[in-house]
Structure 1
C-alpha cells in the first residue's frame, strides 16, 4: 500500500520548486542583458528627491516615501559611494521621483505635494553619452536580480574599455529598470547635499583637491556599486556588448585615465593619470566644476 502522505509531500515539494523557478524566470533570472555606450535613456529631468547618508539597504524606505506621494511617477535612485571604501553610515544616496523630462514642465500641484512632504527639487542635464543597460521590473525579486546581474556586467564593460563613468543611476519606469552612468558632466549629477559634504571634507582635510568637472575625466573621489546589501548572492552571466554601437567611446577613453582599473567597480588611478590630467586642458570654462569626493571612484555598490 503506497505511502500517500509521502507522495503528497513529494508532489507538494515539486510544485513549490516549479512555482519558485517560474517566479524567478518571470522576474528576469535569464533575461538578456546588453551593456552599451550611447545616448541616455532619459533626457534632461527634473525630480523631487530626499538625500540620505547611511547603508544603502535603507533606500527602500525612501522609495516607499516617494511612491506614496506620486505612485504613478518614475522612481530614480542615485548612489555616490562604495561601501567597501566608505563606512556604511557615511555612504551617500538620493531617491526620488521624476517630475518632468525634456522640455515638459512639472505639474505644479504634484510639485507642491512633494515639497510639503519634505522633498527637494533638482535637475540633471541631458548628456550625449552614458554607459547604460536595462532589466525587467516585474516583481520585487526583479530588483534583487537586476542589481546582482547588471552591475558585474557594467564593471567588466567599463574596465575593458577604461571608461570614466559615475555616479550610477537606477530609473524605474514602464516595467524596466534603467541602469546608467554618465560619461560627461558628471559633476552636474551631484545633488547639492553631496557638494556640501565634499566641501566640508575638503575643508576638514585642508587639502586642495581638484573636482570632478563637467567633462568626463575621472575624479579621485568615491563612486557607486550596489550589491550584497540589497540582494541575495546570484551568479553573474558573462557580459554581452555591442561594440559597433559604442558611440564616442574612444573620446571618453582618452579623457578618462589611461591607468584606470576596477576591483568590484572601483577606480584605481595612477600617478601617470594625474600628470596627464595636469597637462591637458580642463574643457569648456563655462561648464561648472565640482569639488571632488575624497574617496576613490566606484561604479556600483557592495556593502558589508
Structure 2
C-alpha cells in the first residue's frame, strides 16, 4: 500500500512539474500571435550608448546585462549586422546598449557619463517613415529565445514575398515587449562607426587586390561574405535558411559584400571613350598606338546588407 502511495505521489509531482513548465512557456510567448507589418517605426530618433563586438552572437547576453545594470530603467537595444549563414561566427558584428533619449528629449548627462566611463560609445539613429516591424512579449528569460526562433522566420518570409530591402534589424526591449524593426530607408545611418571603418578597410584591401591582379582573371566577380538580411535564429550554429538578398544600396555600410554597381560600368565606358579619343588623335599624328589594357574595376566602398537576431544560445 505504501509503495502504491509513493508511485501516486511521484506521478502527481511529475504532472505538476509538466503543467507548470507548460504554463511558463505559454506565458513566455510560446504561442503568442506574431503580426508582421510595414509601417511607422516603434521608436523615433534615438541617442543610445553601446558597445561594439565581433564574435559569436550567443555572447551578446553579457553586454545586455552590463548595459542594464548601469541604467536599469532604460530600454535596451541590440543591432546585428551579419548573417551567420554567410559569415563565420567569430566574424559576426553586433552592438548592444541602452537608449539614452528618444525624439526631442535630451539624454541624462550624468547617466551618459556613467556609460562612457564604462567604455560605452554614444551614437544616434534617425527616425524613418517606413520599417518592417513586429513585436513579441518580453515576460521571462525565455521570451528572448522564443522571440528569436519564432519572429525571424516570419520576417524573412514577409520580406521575401514582398521583395523588400530591409537592413539592419534592431531589437528594442521595453515595456514588456521586444520590438523587431528593419528600416526600409536610410539604412546606412544605422551602421555605427566601427562597422564603417571595417568596411573601409575591406574596400581598401579589395582595391589593392584588384590593382595587383595581373593574372587576367576577372577579380571583380560578385561575392559576399555577409550580405543578406539576417532573419533567422542568429544565435544558432545552424540557423534556418531564411535570410534574403537585397539589391545593391549606395548607403549600406555593412561588411563583406563587394558588388558591382551601374556607376562602375559608366566609369569604365568613360575611361574607354577617353582612351579611344587618345588613340584616334595619335593615329592622326602618325604615332604608333600601343594597345591599352582594360582597367580593373573597383568594388564600391559601401556594400549592401540585409539582416537579423536577439540573445539566444548558439
Query: Normalising by the residue count of structure 2, what TM-score does the alignment of the two structures yield?
Result: 0.73
Aligned pairs for 1:61-80 within 5 A: 61-80=62-81
Match for residue 302 of structure 2? 292
- Residues 91 and 269 (structure 1 numbering): CA distance in 2 closer, same or farther, change over 3 Å? same
The C-alpha deviation readout for 1:139-166, integer Å capped at 9, x for no partner, is: 0010111111100100000000000000
- Residues 69 and 226 (structure 1 numbering): CA distance in 2 closer, same or farther, change over 3 Å? farther
Offset of 1:266 from its aligned partner?
3.1
Match for residue 218 of structure 2? none
Which is higher, the Rg of structure 1 or of structure 2?
2
- Do structure 1's residue 267 and structure 2's residue 245 form an aligned pair? yes
Partners of 1:183 and 1:69 in 2: how far apart? 32
Check conservation: 1:226, 1:303, Cα contact below 8 A: no
Tell me the SS of whatever aligns to 1:96.
strand
Aligned pairs for 1:187-198 within 5 A: 187-198=188-199
Check conservation: 1:54, 1:90, Cα contact below 8 A: yes
Match for residue 238 of structure 1? none
Partners of 1:231 and 1:17 in 2: how far apart? 29
Tell me the SS of whatever aligns to 2:133.
strand
Offset of 1:9 from its aligned partner?
1.0
Match for residue 60 of structure 1? 61
Match for residue 212 of structure 1? none
Offset of 1:231 from its aligned partner?
10
Partners of 2:170 and 2:208 in 1: how far apart? 29
Match for residue 134 of structure 1? 135
Check conservation: 1:42, 1:101, Cα contact below 8 A: yes
Check conservation: 2:159, 2:244, Cα contact below 8 A: no
CA RMSD of aligned residues (A): 3.0
Q: How many residues align?
A: 252
Offset of 1:276 from its aligned partner?
9.0
Aligned pairs for 1:40-51 within 5 A: 40-51=41-52
Match for residue 26 of structure 1? 27
Aligned pairs for 1:1-304 within 5 A: 1=1, 3-206=4-207, 222=227, 223-227=229-233, 229=235, 263-267=241-245, 291-293=301-303, 297-301=305-309
Offset of 1:263 from its aligned partner?
4.2
In structure 2, runs of 5+ residues without a counterpart are: 211-223, 249-258, 265-299
Query: Normalising by the residue count of structure 1, what TM-score does the alignment of the two structures yield?
Result: 0.76
